[in-house]
Amino acid sequence: MIFTDEHEQFRATVREVIDRHINPFADDWEAAGMFPAHELFPKLGAAGIFGLEYDPADGGQGADHSFTVVYGEEFGRCATGGVAMAVSVQTDMATPSLARFGSPELKERFLRPAIAGTAVAAIAVTEPDAGSDVAGLRTRAVRDGDEWGVDGQKVWCSNGRVADRGILM
């Protein structure tokens, strides 16, 4: 794959963020079993790490997929897998469906803060009988007059301990 100067500049930015804001604290965060997501995520948002391929009208960068490849390569340098996974939940699990299918109001209220890093997103998939097999999920949205309710059960919510908002599947 051939990367442009712009891709390499982004690589340097991501590497600096990891070297300055993640790796020096990795051992302490791992020992604590927690990291300060609400302090870290705004720094990642300011660096343009969230919303790489999302529409600029929604706060994204509108970048090509090679930027996502660069992000993935560099995040492999994280000294803590937990942080790398939490960031991946934000970038690759909890926000894509909202970016693609969300109404303008939902994008403004939920997607834009996730891209900025001012909100931590979670995703709830895992169920008692289906695990994470999305084809076997039983949770449903149920209309009750003018309101919607949820009928089902989740046993795990990725980023759930620190999330401000979540996507329920």
Active site residues: 92
Phi and psi angles of residue 121, each rounded to the nearest 5 degrees, phi first: -100, 150
Cβ-proximal residues to 107 (8 Å cutoff; 6+ apart), any chain: 58, 98, 99
Helix/strand/coil for 33: coil
State the Cα angle at 152 between 148 and 154, rounded to 5°. 120
Dist. CA 58–CA 56, nearest whole Å: 5
